[in-house]
Structure 1
């Protein structure tokens, strides 16, 4: 871990297990193991000689019944969190094995995980993780543009690949997400007269360039609106099934799922 003001970790595991949690600092100082706290304040503070640690181990989540916990690490006084290798220690107090998924809620350039179990995946959260939601990955169809001042802007993305900023599946329960993919990088759209964009993002006074899965989702929303216009009786499951069956990952046969692409790019003509 590099220098940062505060570190947040969030972890989830199965309702069938019960974990106790502890943190070890780079200097070897440790917090006590903290069990799930069902009564009172689930967040407990620990003052170590080189850091301040808060562990929150609440009862099972009301939405899905699974367990989760939070870890907060701060420096002493106004100091930043000590750089180095921190250890998240867990021990299983039940007889059931479990899979523990841990995410950092901080800038990944400052906080990163090490070890054989680290994988840059399982990054799709709410609302995209909902089973009825159509979750859209973004792929790159444009890598550069010319701004309002005639400057050529390049974003360092690779053409016709899933964009670096597009979150990767699957879900914690191995559910297939994302569902499909749509253009989401360097998308040119209308510019509101009340918007305040940097000139480097503007094509002219009426159009602006943006990137993100928020750019990819409207493509699919438009297709869904047309499908519902044709058949108002379609439910979310039927719409999703139509999209998946008429999508394909470039270079792969239809029906192939990928944790970055989902089921691929939609062939709108077949819908």
Structure 2
């Protein structure tokens, strides 16, 4: 489990077992190392505070994480449980580790998706236009309220080259299948720009890409927590580059 809260605050993190017995109780700068569990409580590189609790497969069960406020401004925190498919399969338990009750199904992005200029991509099925966003596609926003994911692309039941095979394809699903679609579209945009003698910055790429999306779905106007600004339209993005005038700066909002 990973927990983050503001660097302006200071919490104490306690773990209790099913019998309500306290196993550890760590303040900022401390760690705990005991059979079945390891925990740290540190200041992150971004200035906020982070607590991590790692449990071994033998530690499966019901646990309580209790947060004590030592220095509280507003008490806001975010917490996630990493998925544990492999360990659970070995234990013949097929449901993921989870919080007993889900307070908020937003903020489920992996930390690798939360870069300032990187483009986070959601996944949907391109084979059925009426399908909702893929159920495995994480929801934003980021902890600090930024709009991610920013765009979505086909990532469900995608046939792609099978590594180490000469002729076979493999059908896979995941945002790892959707992200290469956006990478390919950006490569085509850069190729078109180079052909015209235009250099595109990351801000210009983002502007062109997000202004040429399609919606419905998503049905709501503006940014969506899973679709982002909308679904990618490769040809429209490339045509937007073609429409640029050489040496004319692209206005960035």
Normalised TM-score (structure 1) = 0.73
Does 1:125 pair with 2:110? yes
Could you tell me how far 1:132 is from its partner in structure 2? 0.6
**1:73-222 → structure 2 map (5 Å cutoff):** 73-74=55-56, 80-81=58-59, 83-84=61-62, 86-107=63-84, 109-115=95-101, 118-142=103-127, 160-192=131-163, 194-195=164-165, 205-222=167-184
Q: Which runs of 5+ in 1 are unaligned?
A: 1-8, 144-157, 197-204
Distance in 1, Cα, partners of 2:145 & 2:103 = 16
Residues paired across the two proteins, number: 224
2:25 is paired with a residue whose SS is coil
1:72 is paired with a residue whose SS is strand
Normalised TM-score (structure 2) = 0.78
Distance in 2, Cα, partners of 1:17 & 1:190 = 49
Q: Is the 8 A contact 1:163 1:185 kept in 2?
A: yes
Distance 1:110 1:209, change over 3 A: closer
More helix by share: 2
Could you tell me how far 1:176 is from its partner in structure 2? 0.5
Superposed CA RMSD = 2.6
Q: Which runs of 5+ in 2 are unaligned?
A: 86-94, 238-253
Aligned counterpart in structure 1 of residue 31 of structure 2, from 39, 43, 50: 43
Distance in 2, Cα, partners of 1:257 & 1:161 = 16
Does 1:270 pair with 2:233? no
2:251 maps to which residue?
A: none
Does 1:57 pair with 2:41? yes
1:189 is paired with a residue whose SS is strand
